[in-house]
Amino acid sequence: EPEVTQTPSHQVTQMGQEVILRCVPISNHLYFYWYRQILGQKVEFLVSFYNNEISEKSEIFDDQFSVERPDGSNFTLKIRSTKLEDSAMYFCASRGTSGGNEQFFGPGTRLTVL
Amino acid sequence: AQKVTQAQTEISVVEKEDVTLDCVYETRDTTYYLFWYKQPPSGELVFLIRRNSFDEQNEISGRYSWNFQKSTSSFNFTITASQVVDSAVYFCALSARGSTLGRLYFGRGTQLTVWP
């Protein structure tokens, strides 16, 4: 069964460093999302992406964040200068065009900023 | 504004007990979707079910059942004859038509622990 994959599973970085989180959405899906979950808290929306453009972003998604679909398969989230409070689990999700609005999530990347 | 409330933070049951997880939502949109996701200890988010706002038919799938009531803005989830493997955090989520690509608004989750 097709699934969303994410790499790396865990990333440790120093404050101020840039990180790139990678996702491979389900192959025939056209809508892509990033969410984050700070430890023990609820899942929060960051950004949605379609047709090589950001469709919607939350207040969390400030100028330090960017997304890109560099090729036909990958979808990346970049944090330019990480802060301690960026430590969280980051989930990528994708959605197809048929059926309902269900989004299918990847296993997540745990980002630890020291 | 969209909001999802899961008032139960933690629930503990003994195996084979039935358990209901509550979800109350708020939205001004007339067209919306409701979801339940499961997050086992391994951390991934697993899609369980979707309901749209114009389909109030309740559903049973094996040991799982869902009760959607627009009159009370609730979308509750029941596990019958719970098992240890059901132990997880369960999230209720809402997607409203006002959002271009259907961003999900999650509740805070309910930690379900099933004891043997």
Q: Do B101 and A31 touch (CB under 8 A)?
A: yes
User: In the structure, what pLDDT confidence band is assigned to residue B15 with cuts at 50, 70 and 90?
Assistant: very high
**Cβ neighbours of B35 in A, within 8 Å:** 101-102
**d(CA B70, nearest CA chain A) in Å:** 18
pLDDT above 70 coverage of chain A, percent? 98
**Cβ neighbours of B93 in A, within 8 Å:** 43
* Beta carbons of B101 and A96 less than 8 angstroms apart: no
Q: Do B50 and A104 touch (CB under 8 A)?
A: no
| Ramachandran angles phi, psi of A101, nearest 5° | -90, 15
Q: Do B43 and A89 touch (CB under 8 A)?
A: yes
The span from the CA of B69 to the CA of A72, in Å, is 41
| Ramachandran angles phi, psi of A10, nearest 5° | -145, 130
Q: What is the mean pLDDT of each run of 10 residues along chain A (114 residues)?
A: 91 97 93 94 94 92 94 92 96 85 92 97
Q: Return all residues near B60 (Cβ < 8 A) that are at least 6 apart.
A: none
Query: What pLDDT is recorded for position B55?
Result: 81
Helix/strand/coil for B72: helix
Residue B28 pLDDT greater than 80, yes or no: yes
Task: Give me the residue from A48, A56, A102 closest to B47, CB to CB.
Answer: A102
Give, as one character, the DSSP assignment of residue B98.
Answer: T
**Cβ neighbours of B44 in A, within 8 Å:** 105-108
What is the rounded end-to-end Cα distance, in angstroms, of chain B?
41
User: In the structure, what pLDDT confidence band is assigned to residue B98 with cuts at 50, 70 and 90?
Assistant: low
Residue B102 pLDDT greater than 90, yes or no: no
Query: What pLDDT is recorded for position B100?
Result: 67
Q: Do A56 and B105 touch (CB under 8 A)?
A: no
Query: What pLDDT is recorded for position A12?
Result: 97
CA A97 centroid distance within chain: 20
B36-91 pLDDT, tens digit per residue, is: 999 999 889 999 988 888 887 788 889 999 999 999 999 999 999 999 999 999 99
Burial label, B112 (beta-carbon count in 10 A; 0-12, 13-18, 19+): buried
Name the average pLDDT for chain B.
92
- Cis amide leading into A2 (omega within 30): no
Helix/strand/coil for B31: coil
